[in-house]
Structure 1
Amino acid sequence: MWLYLAALLGLYFLRRWYRERQTVENLTEKYVFITGCDSGFGNQLARQLDARGLRVLAACLTQQGAEQLGKATSERLQTTLLDVTSTESVAAAAAWAKERVGNKGLWGLVNNAGIAHPMAPNEWLTKQDFRKVLDVNLLGVIDTTVQLLPLVKSARGRLVNVASVMGRLAMLGGGYCVAKYGVEAFSDSLRRELHSFGIRVSIIEPGNFKTSITVNLQENLQAVWSRVPAEIQESYGQPYFEAGEIVVQCCSLLYPVTDCMEHALTSRYPRSRYSGGWDAKLYYIPVSYLPTVLADYLLMRCGPKPAHAI
């Protein structure tokens, strides 16, 4: 019996391996719009797809980022400025994209733009701190998707939304985890709504990588701590702050994530979810399936304790 089960499992993975290596035809004629291309995953993906011959429409927050990306890529790649927190900026970018894709439509939309700070225990933060992150990481994704969706529908293309392992396990306070949970929910609803239109929706769930999101974590935490009311500081204690300074071991190679994005855009049979990085595959994703009491133990056992802990 076990031999038959092993054989069936082997056949399943063999079939999956074969299907996932079949690519979409005429990739050099397809347009892909990517947000957050100044640095990190978006910048790497833009260069990666450009090298493969796709027609990349790269949206950057700054003129400097757009110019640097343009110098590092071919003439096929085109850049525009985009602030995903501004509906007017998103509308202008959507009109710009429509002019370039014409009747071909937009094959791929990659919602990659994101920020993390302020990130700290929730009690240290204000409503504005949460809004700052949610405006980019969740509402920006929603606004960009809604305004560019008609172009994706005309091409029967792909939507790729960058979430995080923290969209499964809320390990840090602040708007980041809240937003990434929201991206997961938004993407799930889109996948079911758009299936009848031939549009495939994929969620990317990276682990810890060295990007603009993970730099200056200590400095940002210090800035939040410095404005926390004295009574709250006392309840946590200075040792809690010092022990809780965020030190993340990040992978500097971004290919494990951008390869997932590329596969979601170019494979005939993309996955609904991609976990980027070995820490995501071997630790965070498995822990997310554990009973809550076990997951809490694993995530809390190494954390600092407040001065007034029970």
Structure 2
Amino acid sequence: MVDMRIVCFDLKESIQRVDSFEMFLYILGLLVIFYGYRWFKELKQVPNKSEKHVYITGCDTGFGNLLAKHLDEKGFCVIAGCYTEKGEIELKKACSARLITVQLDVSDNDSIKKAAGIIKNTVGEKGLWAVVNNAGISQPSGPTEWMVLDDFKKMLNVNLLGVIAVTLSVLPFIKKAKGRVVNISSVVGRICVNSAPYSISKHGVEAFNDCLRLNMAPFGVKVLCIEPGFFKTSMSDPSFLQHNLQKFWDRLPEDVRNDYGSDYIDKVKAVFAKRIGKSLDQDLWKVVSCMAHAVSAVHPRTRYSAGWDAKFFWLPLSYMPSFITDAILLKNTIKPKACI
């Protein structure tokens, strides 16, 4: 005799498996359609590039330098803000006659106003298509108690107040063109890793970006944010980081150094030498391509996560509860002597 209860159970289980598989295919199909549509939509580029002016800060080296060259090749009229005269000369040599440079210190209001005056005369009634706030500084800071107020001021003056000041100086021209503002933040604008002044400055950029995006939406101005992971640039060179960290250590009071232990600084510097060089992404184009898309796409993204570490580690980590992020970040942190 066949036990009908077993037959019915097996049949029910088979139906559930089929239903689950169909649901999986349905969800997969929706994802393919969604991302396929988004990919196709994002391919469309803005027309008349030769009539559009793009103002980029921090063009001496790194991302800004590469972006200026790339947009110049694509036909945009690039206005490159360089901190040094040497940076201006070298960039002009590498680009077409369309590109013009302005000497710019984003922490100096007079320098910002002078650049804005040049831009106003250059763009005329067409207005400014985009400003890319790329200029920034970075430095290892160690624990927050190693800091003094001037360390925070220096970082905020360039990385946050500089972004705000440059944006406000050209915002009327951008409104005229119904253009866009592209702000370069960082994954540490979402989650603090260690450097308090740098993270605070980038959290501020995120907040400024969000406020400005809402304010400018009625005017047809797009405000976009790039959040790169960790890339190999002059600011992330291990020897540079070690040198700066040593300066912070040397100025600490004796009692604070005793809390951390005499060998603490050597351990941290060893970590910089061993891990940072290997973990940094050397493909700067991952960031530059996001910046270029934000400038040239008809339908740019509101946010760009540049780099695999940003997409698959830092961004997901930023959404987790604090007790999980703290445990992960503290796991490989060198502990002070007083805490062992």
Smaller-chain TM-score bracket: over 0.9
* Conserved 8 A contact 2:140-2:241: no
Whichever structure has more helix as a proportion of its residues is 2
Aligned length: 310
Q: CA deviation at 1:212?
A: 2.6
Q: Show CA shifts across 1:85-131 (max 9, x none).
A: 11111010000111111111100100000001252211111000110
The letter of the residue matching 1:241 is: I
Q: 1:221 — aligned with what?
A: 245
Give the unaligned 5+ runs of structure 2.
1-22
Q: CA deviation at 1:168?
A: 0.8
Q: CA deviation at 1:69?
A: 0.7
Q: 2:312 — aligned with what?
A: 282
Looking at structure 1, the residues matched to 24 and 232 of structure 2 have their Cα atoms a distance apart, in angstroms, of: 43
Looking at structure 2, the residues matched to 47 and 308 of structure 1 have their Cα atoms a distance apart, in angstroms, of: 51
The letter of the residue matching 1:309 is: C
SS in 1 for 2:325: helix
Q: Show CA shifts across 1:226-266 (max 9, x none).
A: 11111111111122222222342322221000000000011
Q: Alignment RMSD, CA only?
A: 1.1
Q: Show CA shifts across 1:62-98 (max 9, x none).
A: 1011111111111111001011111111010000111
Looking at structure 1, the residues matched to 333 and 160 of structure 2 have their Cα atoms a distance apart, in angstroms, of: 28
Mapped pair 1:187 → 2:209: yes
Q: 2:224 — aligned with what?
A: 202
Mapped pair 1:298 → 2:320: no
**Which protein is bigger by CA-based radius of gyration?**
2
Give the unaligned 5+ runs of structure 1.
none
* Conserved 8 A contact 2:133-2:183: yes
The letter of the residue matching 2:144 is: N
Match of 1:139 among 145, 156, 161: 161
* Conserved 8 A contact 1:205-1:275: yes
Q: CA deviation at 1:214?
A: 1.1
Q: Percent identity?
A: 46
Looking at structure 1, the residues matched to 258 and 53 of structure 2 have their Cα atoms a distance apart, in angstroms, of: 54
Mapped pair 1:67 → 2:89: yes
TM-score by length of 2: 0.89
Looking at structure 1, the residues matched to 73 and 59 of structure 2 have their Cα atoms a distance apart, in angstroms, of: 15
SS in 1 for 2:339: coil
Q: 2:198 — aligned with what?
A: 176
Q: 1:115 — aligned with what?
A: 137
* Conserved 8 A contact 1:118-1:129: no
SS in 2 for 1:308: helix
Q: 1:212 — aligned with what?
A: 234
